[in-house]
A and B are shown apart, each in its own frame.
Chain A
Amino acid sequence: MHTVLRSASKEVVIGGDQPFCIIGERINPTGRKIFQEQLRRGDLSRVEIDISEQVAGGAMALDVNMGAPLADEAELMVRAVELAQSRTDLPLCIDSSVVEALEAGLSAYEGKALVNSVTAEDERLDAVLPLVRRHGAAVIMLPNDEEEIPEAPRRRLELVGRLVAAAERYGIGLEDVVIDPLAMPIGADTSLVDKTLETIHLVKERFGLNMTLGASNVSFGMPDRHAIGSAFLPMAMTLGLTSAIMDARSADLVQAVKAADLLLDHDPWGANWIAAHRARTAATP
């Protein structure tokens, strides 16, 4: 299964036989007070910094979220998408829970975007999927419904079945469906991440779909977060995770992913691994 994302000039393929797709996560004001104030004033200078840091760290696509409270999210999304397109040729992941912001972002985007995201709630599916279809985008789909965020992997799998059916109903090909198996904070309950891993395994076995998740969620509330992420991502990759929304500024995380790519035979002859080493060596005098 290949999910193809495109900017105006570049194509990125997500798939089980491809290098893991690192989607840079930082272009997001959640929990960042100064960034939020800047956005409310219409100042996008922080967005520029976040874009360049994620690109420098090795992001292969960029997640763009403009969810600052008390700001016009749709307008900010248009400006952020335009800014990102002028600074990088990486494909974008348009991230909002506000349908108008998704629509505005998709309209401003040139290429094939990834929409982040839609849940298995009927109202959300009916609002978001027609947009995805109309713009020829791909979409991240979450297995939670109106009632709950289920913990049991089997229940999540059932909801993935509903998501797949909904995508088909709206004429969206399964190659354009990326499932989010729901990454949960290990600090809140140490049984939660094992359930995410089991969900990844089940979705791969049953549907063979591409999957992505918010990798930072896993280590929330814990010390040495990057070490936890660096252990989690290769485990998840082994089971079938093909992408993650993650902080590409962390060399530890990125290297863990690249090493797993090598070990899982997604890096023939270790060419990428060796090239990355050489680039680092050349950069340090």
Chain B
Amino acid sequence: MKAEELLKVLYDETLVGNAPRVLELTNEGLASGLSPEELLFDSLIPSLEEVGARFERGDFFVPEMLIAGKAMSGALEILRPLLAETGVEPVGTFVMGTVKGDVHDIGKNLVNIMLEGAGFQVIDLGVQVAPEKFVAAIEEHRPDIVGFSAFLTTTMPMFKANMNALEKAGLRGQVIVMVGGAPVTQEYADAVGADGYASDASAAVARAKELLSHRRAAQPA
């Protein structure tokens, strides 16, 4: 297969979430001399962006988004170490967790899969994550973004408690804060002082990328 054709087939197979074929094609591409960056930026990421666009339009449904994200993650496991060798940074690092008092994780896990699919390195702290645990994880991993998830109107106020903990630890300026979950709204996100909100997994990825590029434009490396 020619390079151009391989990138096209890889794009198509990622779009339909054919994980075994995506792995094969990734290996095949590398063996034939394509660079990890080419595979990632000229095929895999555009494919996942198309998945997101179709989901937003209502042409794709949650399971399709999930299998595409998982297929992409499989390819990334091969590509990530190679990208690191050549000095290519991950798209961004994301620390994620469901807030203290809340054990709901289905929505958060969907967002994680889509973030990973988009090339983010995701550190998932699980459920019932206390403010001090978020603080410790931010200190350890130095993520670009931290995400707080809540499913209940009673646990949403933990967003504010988490924000206060970040302020107190002197970390607020260093990390973008995103919030989400069934009862959460843009107004609520604004009220607690979060930087971003999204209503579903696909929108969360788009918003994360947008916030990150703003941040990077404002603070050139």
Contacts and interface: CB of A to CB of B under 8 A. Distances in A.
Contacts of B156: 69
B106 interface: yes
A136 to B, nearest CB: 24
B103 A221 contact: no
A187 B61 contact: yes
Interface in A222-264: 222-223
Interface in B53-69: 61-63, 66
A36 B103 contact: no
A88 to B, nearest CB: 25
Interface residues of B, number: 25
B183 A69 contact: yes
Contacts of B66: 187-188
A33 B187 CA distance: 10
The binding surface of chain A is classed by DSSP as: loop
Given A146-B103, A184-B106, A185-B106, A69 B61 contact: no
B219 interface: no
Given A30-B182, A187-B62, A146 B128 contact: yes
B6 interface: no
B63 A97 contact: no
Nearest to A147: B103
Nearest to B107: A188
A145 B183 CA distance: 21
A176 interface: no
Nearest to B151: A97
Given A69-B188, A149-B104, A222-B61, 15 more contacts: A30-B183, A31-B199, A36-B185, A67-B153, A69-B153, A69-B184, A70-B187, A70-B188, A97-B153, A97-B154, A98-B153, A147-B103, A187-B63, A221-B61, A221-B62
B188 to A, nearest CB: 4
Contacts of B128: 146-147
B127 interface: yes
Interface in A25-80: 30-31, 33, 36, 67, 69-70, 73
Contacts of A187: 61-63, 66
Nearest to A69: B188
Q: Which secondary structure dominates where chain B touches chain A?
A: loop
A31 B183 CA distance: 6
A223 B61 CA distance: 7
B61 A149 contact: no
Interface of A: 30-31, 33, 36, 67, 69-70, 73, 96-98, 144-149, 184-185, 187-190, 220-223
B183 to A, nearest CB: 5
B168 to A, nearest CB: 24
Interface in B109-138: 109-110, 127-128
Residue of B152, B182, B185 ringed by the most chain A CB atoms within 10 A: B185
A189 B191 CA distance: 33
A98 B154 contact: yes
21 contacts: A30-B183, A31-B182, A67-B183, A69-B183, A69-B185, A69-B188, A70-B187, A70-B191, A96-B153, A97-B153, A97-B154, A97-B155, A145-B103, A147-B103, A149-B104, A187-B61, A187-B66, A188-B66, A189-B106, A220-B62, A221-B62
